[in-house]
Amino acid sequence: MNKVFELNHPLIQHKLTLIRDKNTGAKEFRELIKEVSMLMAYEVTRELPLEDVEVETPICVMKGKAIAGRKLAIVPILRAGLGMVDGFLSLLPAAKVGHVGLYRDPETLNPVEYYCKLPSDVPERDLLVLDPMLATGGSARAAIRFIKNRGARNIKLISIISCPEGIAAVHSEHPDVDIFVAAIDEKLNDHAYIVPGLGDAGDRLFGTK
Residues that bind ligand URA (CB under 6 A): 80, 133, 135, 192-194, 197, 200-202
- Among residues 20, 30, 176, 200, the one annotated as catalytic is 200
**Does 141 qualify as catalytic in the annotation?**
no
Q: How far is the CB of 80 from ligand URA (least distance, A)?
A: 6
For residue 149, with 0-12 CB atoms within 10 Å meaning exposed, 13-18 middle and 19 or more buried, which class applies? exposed
Strand partners of residue 61? 56
For residue 133, with 0-12 CB atoms within 10 Å meaning exposed, 13-18 middle and 19 or more buried, which class applies? buried
Say whether 137 counts as a known binding-site residue.
yes
* Nearer Cβ to ligand URA (44/80): 80
**Does 200 qualify as catalytic in the annotation?**
yes
Sequence-separated contacts (24+) of 115-121 with Cβ below 8 Å: 115/78, 116/146, 116/147, 116/150, 118/73, 118/75, 118/147, 118/150, 118/152, 119/73, 121/71
SS3 63: strand
Say whether 37 counts as a known binding-site residue.
no
- Among residues 104, 121, 145, 208, the one annotated as catalytic is 104
Say whether 199 counts as a known binding-site residue.
yes
* Nearer Cβ to ligand URA (124/200): 200
Say whether 198 counts as a known binding-site residue.
no
**Does 203 qualify as catalytic in the annotation?**
yes
Known binding residues for uracil: 194, 199-201
Known binding residues for 5-phospho-alpha-D-ribose 1-diphosphate: 79, 104, 131-139, 200
Which residues are part of the catalytic machinery?
A: 104, 108, 200, 203
